[in-house]
Chain A
Amino acid sequence: MIGRVSDVPLSDDPASRYLPWTVGLLVFLATLAFAAGMFLSSAGDTWRQSLSGTLTIQIPAALSANTSAAAAEEHRAQVSAAAELLRATPGIVSARRIPDAEIAAMLEPWLGKQVLGLDLPMPELIDAIVASDAGIDLSALSTRLAEVAPGALVDDHAVWLRRLTDFAGVAETVSFAVMIVILISAVATVIVTTRTGLAIHSDVVEVLHLIGAQDSYVARQFQVHTLRLATIGAVAGFAFGAGVVFLAQTYGGRLSGGLLLDLALGPLQWALLFVLPVVAILLVVVTVGITVMRVLGKMM
Chain B
Amino acid sequence: MANGVGDIVRFENVGMRYRLGAEVLHDVSFSLPAGSFHFLTGPSGAGKSSLMRLMYLAHRPSRGMISMFGRDVSTVPRTELAALRRRIGVVFQEFRLIDHLSALDNVALPLRIAGAKEDQIRDHVAELLRWVGLDGQIDAKPTTLSGGEQQRVAIARAVIARPQLMLADEPTGNVDGDIAIRLMYLLEELNKIGTTVVVATHNEALIERFRHPCFHIEGGTLTGPGVKPGEVES
Binding site for B on A (CB under 8 A): 4-5, 7, 9, 12, 203-204, 206-214, 217, 297, 300
> Which residues of chain B from 29 to 69 have any CB-CB distance to chain A below 8 Å in the complex?
56-60
How far is B115's CA from A217's CA once the two chains are assembled, in angstroms?
Answer: 10
Task: Please name all residues of chain A whose beta carbon is closer than 8 Å to the beta carbon of B88 when the two chains form the complex.
Answer: 212
Task: Please name all residues of chain B whose beta carbon is closer than 8 Å to the beta carbon of A213 when the two chains form the complex.
Answer: 82, 113
The answer, among B58, B59, B86, B92, for a CB contact under 8 Å with A212, is B86
Which of A4, A203, A214 has most chain B Cβ within 10 Å? A214
Q: Say if the beta carbon of B145 comes within 8 Å of chain A.
A: no
Contact of B81 with A300 in the complex, beta carbons under 8 Å? yes
Contact of B85 with A209 in the complex, beta carbons under 8 Å? yes
Pick 22 A–B contacts, CB within 8 A, sort by A: A5-B100, A5-B101, A5-B105, A7-B105, A7-B112, A203-B96, A207-B92, A207-B98, A208-B113, A210-B56, A210-B58, A211-B85, A211-B113, A212-B82, A212-B86, A212-B110, A212-B114, A212-B161, A213-B82, A214-B79, A217-B113, A300-B57
Contact of A204 with B79 in the complex, beta carbons under 8 Å? no
User: Nearest 9 CB-CB pairs, A to B?
Assistant: A212-B86, A212-B85, A9-B100, A213-B113, A214-B82, A207-B96, A212-B82, A211-B110, A212-B113
Q: Say if the beta carbon of B187 comes within 8 Å of chain A.
A: no
Closest to A207 in B: B96
> Shortest Cβ distance from A296 into chain B, in angstroms?
9
Contact of B83 with A212 in the complex, beta carbons under 8 Å? yes
Given A203-B96, A300-B60, verify A208-B109 contact (CB < 8 Å): yes
Task: Please name all residues of chain B whose beta carbon is closer than 8 Å to the beta carbon of A203 when the two chains form the complex.
Answer: 96
How far is B57's CA from A208's CA once the two chains are assembled, in angstroms?
Answer: 13
Known: A5-B105, A7-B112, A12-B100. 9 other contacts (CB 8 A): A208-B109, A209-B85, A210-B56, A211-B113, A212-B82, A213-B82, A214-B82, A300-B59, A300-B81
Task: Please name all residues of chain B whose beta carbon is closer than 8 Å to the beta carbon of A297 when the two chains form the complex.
Answer: 78
How far is B81's CA from A211's CA once the two chains are assembled, in angstroms?
Answer: 11
How far is B88's CA from A217's CA once the two chains are assembled, in angstroms?
Answer: 18
Task: Please name all residues of chain B whose beta carbon is closer than 8 Å to the beta carbon of A300 when the two chains form the complex.
Answer: 57-60, 78, 81
Which of A9, A207, A209 has most chain B Cβ within 10 Å? A207
Task: Please name all residues of chain A whose beta carbon is closer than 8 Å to the beta carbon of B114 when the two chains form the complex.
Answer: 212
Count of B residues near A, CB < 8 Å?
A: 28
Q: Say if the beta carbon of B214 comes within 8 Å of chain A.
A: no
Q: Say if the beta carbon of B159 comes within 8 Å of chain A.
A: no
Q: Say if the beta carbon of B90 comes within 8 Å of chain A.
A: yes
The answer, among A9, A12, A211, A214, for a CB contact under 8 Å with B109, is A211
Q: Mark B135-170, 1 if CB is under 8 A from A, else 0.
A: 000000000000000000000010001000000000
> Which residues of chain B from 79 to 127 have any CB-CB distance to chain A below 8 Å in the complex?
79, 81-83, 85-86, 88, 90, 92, 96, 98-101, 105, 109-110, 112-114
Task: Please name all residues of chain A whose beta carbon is closer than 8 Å to the beta carbon of B157 when the two chains form the complex.
Answer: 211
Which of B88, B100, B114, B161 has most chain A Cβ within 10 Å? B100
Task: Please name all residues of chain A whose beta carbon is closer than 8 Å to the beta carbon of B109 when the two chains form the complex.
Answer: 7, 208, 211
> Shortest Cβ distance from A274 into chain B, in angstroms?
35
How far is B114's CA from A214's CA once the two chains are assembled, in angstroms?
Answer: 9
Task: Please name all residues of chain A whose beta carbon is closer than 8 Å to the beta carbon of B82 when the two chains form the complex.
Answer: 209, 212-214
> Shortest Cβ distance from A141 into chain B, in angstroms?
75
> Shortest Cβ distance from B188 into chain A, in angstroms?
23
How far is B158's CA from A117's CA once the two chains are assembled, in angstroms?
Answer: 96
How far is B98's CA from A207's CA once the two chains are assembled, in angstroms?
Answer: 8
> Shortest Cβ distance from A6 into chain B, in angstroms?
9
How far is B58's CA from A38's CA once the two chains are assembled, in angstroms?
Answer: 53
How far is B90's CA from A206's CA once the two chains are assembled, in angstroms?
Answer: 13
How far is B226's CA from A210's CA once the two chains are assembled, in angstroms?
Answer: 29
Task: Please name all residues of chain A whose beta carbon is closer than 8 Å to the beta carbon of B101 when the two chains form the complex.
Answer: 5, 7
